[in-house]
Amino acid sequence: MLNLAKGYKIYEPERLNEEYEVTDDVTLMANVDVEKIKEVFQHFIVMHDEPLFFILELPVTCDRENPVAPGILEETHKDVYYIDGCSQEECLVLLERYGELLINDGMNRFGFGCHESQDEIMLDKYNVVTIYSQQLSNHNEFFEAHGIEKVESLITAWDTFSDETPGQAERCDYEGKSVYDLPEELKDWGMYLADTRAE
């Protein structure tokens, strides 16, 4: 059974296993135990000896959304932040310093990407780790190195959701900080708001 991060609850956790699938020519998708997520990200970073970037996506706060009626939103939005031109060492420090908060929080998505190869790794909600690469063969044994086996069809948390059994994703603070503190805290690292997008 998959060990979920603190910010998530689902009705049928026993249906989820630590596995991965090749979803198309450029994408690997995996369920990763919360205890392994940091090492999976470290592995990706050290594989890529090139300029990197950090990406952080945060849901827009309620006061900035435009309800069509009281309490009813037609669409929700997210703020997308970047730190460009990072070294491998800087990315590893970011992960070490903020990994527990980012991994366990149920509101954000985050990841690292490569300016040259365009490879990316993202942590989505409910412990789903996705790797995008134009050279997917470079990542053939990536998840196996962490004891995560390949399957033909990955069951993720979304496959367990229904009107009767929705998932819960909640904010999860760490050492007095929330993910919403990070844009200001990381401004000196060069973090900037790149875009606000519809979800």
Average pLDDT, the chain: 93
Q: Are 81 and 184 in contact (CB under 8 A)?
A: no
Q: Which residue has the tokens 């135990």?
A: 33
**Spatial separation of the C-alpha atoms in residues 6 and 103, rounded to whole Å:** 9
Output the CA torsion sign for 193, 134, 115, 178. positive
Say how many C-beta atoms besides its own lie within 10 A of residue 137's C-beta. Answer: 6
Q: How confident is residue 63, by pLDDT bands cut at 50, 70 and 90?
A: low
In percent, the amount of the chain with pLDDT more than 90 equals 87
Cβ(139)–Cβ(133) below 8 Å: yes
pLDDT digits over 99-148, tens only?
999 999 999 999 999 999 999 999 999 999 999 999 999 999 999 999 99
Which pLDDT band holds residue 76 (cuts at 50, 70, 90)?
confident
Identify the pLDDT of residue 53. 98
Tell me, what's the pLDDT at 151? 97
Nearest Cα to Cα of residue 46 among 13, 90, 104, 78: 90
pLDDT over 60 (residue 31): yes
45 token code pair: 């970073």
Q: At residue 189, does pLDDT exceed 90?
A: yes
Label residue 65 by pLDDT band (50, 70, 90).
Answer: low
The encoded tokens of residue 126 equal 């409910």
